[in-house]
């Protein structure tokens, strides 16, 4: 009888191990392809890769690694237009293209400049919340080995190409709100060329490894 109990115990252990190997989805929640959570996960995976390989890649390598992922996970055209608000319609087509191009380079460059080394940090999903205007917030945090985590909350909207990030809140501070105040003030006070010059200077700062 003791032998039978031992055999059953071994079999139960084998079943548990097999479940963990072949059905990880039952143990850890997986994100549905194309869902808001999956979009954020895709960005986080790329950022962690850039951090782990940061020194080897250098700034340009990190930029090239992150560029396609940022393009696929962010609605940069929408963010650029929203940043300038009513001022956007006062720009001609050439100025709009110039601003969007510079804005894209700065957005990717900021990631490449910030996420350049790894010391055991990891991203953790916190929750998903519904927002007004059919938007969704994915709440997450970057957890270091030591010290306090940094909250990263992503606002996503669904467009023709699916769910895309349109704003990021780092520890509750809205990146979009900060850009709105700064960019609009420079545009209205100093004009379009000065705004572009300021953005180019910001890009140059991200390139300093």
Spatial contact of 90 and 28, defined as CB atoms under 8 Å apart = no
| Residues 90-146: tens digit of each pLDDT | 999 999 999 999 999 999 999 999 999 999 999 999 999 999 999 999 999 999 999
Confidence of residue 29 (pLDDT cuts 50, 70, 90): low
Whole-structure pTM value = 0.84
Q: Does any domain span residue 44? A: yes
Provide the pLDDT confidence category of residue 31 given band limits of 50, 70 and 90. Answer: confident
Residue 83: inside a domain: yes
Domain CATH for 131: 3.10.450.710
What b/e sequence results for 82-119 when a residue is b if at least 16 CB atoms lie within 10 Å of its CB, and e otherwise? ebbeebbeebeeeebebbbebbbbbbbbbbbbebbebe
114 domain residue, yes or no: yes
Residue 32 confidence (pLDDT): 87
Q: Which two tokens stand for residue 61?
A: 């390598």
Q: Would you state the pLDDT for residue 209?
A: 67
Note the pLDDT of residue 15: 35
pLDDT mean over 177-198: 97
| Span 170-187, average pLDDT | 97
What is the rounded CA–CA span in Å between residue 24 and residue 151?
27
Q: Give a yes or no: residue 21 inside a domain.
A: no
- pLDDT category, 26, cuts 50, 70, 90? very low
Q: Distance between CA 134 and CA 113 in Å, rounded?
A: 32
Q: What average pLDDT does range 9-38 have in this prediction?
A: 51
Whether residue 22 has pLDDT greater than 90: no
Domain total in the chain: 1
In SS3 terms, 91-125 reads as CCHHHHHHHHHHHHHHHHHHHHHHCCCCCCCEEEE
Any domain includes 7: no
Q: Provide the residue range defining the domain that includes 38.
A: 34-206
Is residue 18 one of the residues assigned to a domain? Answer: no
């Amino acid at each position: 009888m003791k032998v039978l109990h031992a055999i059953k115990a071994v079999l139960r252990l084998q079943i548990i191990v097999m479940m963990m190997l072949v059905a990880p989805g039952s143990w850890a929640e997986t994100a549905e392809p194309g869902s808001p959570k999956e979009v954020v996960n895709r960005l986080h995976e790329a950022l962690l890769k850039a951090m782990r390989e940061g020194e080897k890649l250098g700034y340009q390598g990190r930029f090239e690694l992150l560029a396609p992922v940022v393009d696929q996970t962010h609605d940069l055209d929408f963010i650029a237009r929203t940043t300038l608000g009513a001022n956007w319609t006062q720009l001609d087509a050439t100025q709009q293209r110039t601003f969007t191009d510079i804005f894209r380079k700065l957005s990717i460059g900021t990631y490449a400049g910030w996420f350049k080394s790894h010391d055991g940090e990891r991203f953790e999903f916190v929750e998903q919340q519904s927002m007004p205007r059919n938007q969704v917030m994915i709440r997450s945090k970057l957890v270091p080995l030591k010290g306090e985590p940094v909250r990263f909350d992503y606002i996503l909207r669904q467009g023709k190409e699916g769910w895309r990030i349109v704003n990021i809140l780092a520890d509750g501070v809205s990146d979009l709100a900060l850009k709105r105040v700064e960019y609009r003030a420079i545009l209205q006070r100093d004009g379009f060329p000065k705004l572009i010059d300021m953005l180019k200077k910001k890009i140059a700062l991200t390139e300093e490894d």
